[in-house]
Amino acid sequence: MATADSPILIFSDAHLGAHDPGREAVKVDRFVSFLEFAVQTKAEVFFLGDLFDFWFEYKHWVPKVSVRVLAAIRQFTAGGGSFHMLLGNHDIWAADYFAGELGATVHRGDLTVTRQGLRILISHGDGKAKSDRGYRVLRRILRFGPNIALYKLLPADWAFALANFSSKRSRELTSSREPKFVGEYDEVAQAQLASGYDAVIMGHIHQSWVKRLGSGWWVNSGEFFEKFNYVRLQDGEFHLDAWSGTPVTPAGT
């Protein structure tokens, strides 16, 4: 569906399942309409992690989540759309469901792509702040294969209750902590741009911006649960916007 001239749509951090039913309904509606917008504009889509507030796959079982979200992704890819999904710190335990059943292209780490003449580094962004030592240790523990295997031995309902409690506590802690690491993220982006990238794009910290660092672009896609931020790359330029839920074709498409 997408061509060399198609826009690129980038968003992240929906944390579906994290909020009250009213907010969840809004999030689902906007996610579905955003993919309809991607179809309308023939866009390639990159989601930078934390689609769900918690996702953990067993061999024969996946979480009970909004079927409308899953169906929207499948409908998008079945129609020829390209949905790239980076795994964030809340969905690193994904196995083969997103790729096998939904047709998403799943990336388990940082990604380098070339689009519209730009060499771009794309990352969820967790663990980039060197001074956040506690989380960097926790990140290794959570991604350690034997620990994942042991967690699968828990009954599913117990595993999810524990995970949801931990996820809530994590949000409470990081909501006030993450912004203090913005300066370190700036340094990471600057170093990558100096190494030859034309643009660096991350999510994770729920802060949104599109700015220039020298001749390069430093972009954070924000979040898709309150402000509903997204970034559009078109004609070699990045643009930051907020999704209202009403598809409107941007100028130039």
pLDDT band at 236 (very low <50, low <70, confident <90, very high): very high
CB 89 within 8 A of CB 50: yes
Between CA 237 and CA 166 the distance in angstroms is 39
Mean pLDDT along residues 35-42: 96
Lowest pLDDT segment from 59-63, 191-195, 202-206, 220-224: 59-63
Q: Indicate the residue type of 37.
A: F
- Residue 212 confidence class, pLDDT cut points 50, 70, 90: very high
pLDDT in the model for residue 72: 97
| Sign of the dihedral through C-alpha 40, 76, 115, 201 | positive
What local confidence, expressed as pLDDT, does residue 54 receive?
Answer: 78
The pLDDT of 63-77, averaged and rounded, is 92
How many CA within 13 A on the CB side of residue 103? 15
Whole-number Å distance between alpha carbons of 136 and 167: 16
CATH, range 8-242: 3.60.21.10
Q: Residue 12, Cβ neighbours under 10 Å: how many?
A: 30
Report pLDDT for 63.
Answer: 75
Per cent of the chain over pLDDT 90 is: 57
Give, in degrees to the nearest 5, the angle at Cα 15 between 12 and 17: 150
Task: Express each pLDDT in 142-196 by its tens digit.
Answer: 665 676 666 666 777 777 777 676 666 665 555 555 566 788 889 999 999 999 9
Q: Which pLDDT tens digit goes with each residue over 93-134?
A: 787 899 999 999 999 889 999 999 999 999 998 877 666 665
Q: Compare 235 and 63 and report the one with higher pLDDT.
A: 235
Residue 213: enclosing H or E segment and its boundaries?
Answer: strand 208-213
Q: At which residue do the structure tokens 């982006």 appear?
A: 189
Band (pLDDT 50/70/90 cuts) for residue 251 is very low
Mean pLDDT computed over every residue of the chain: 85
- pLDDT value of residue 42: 95
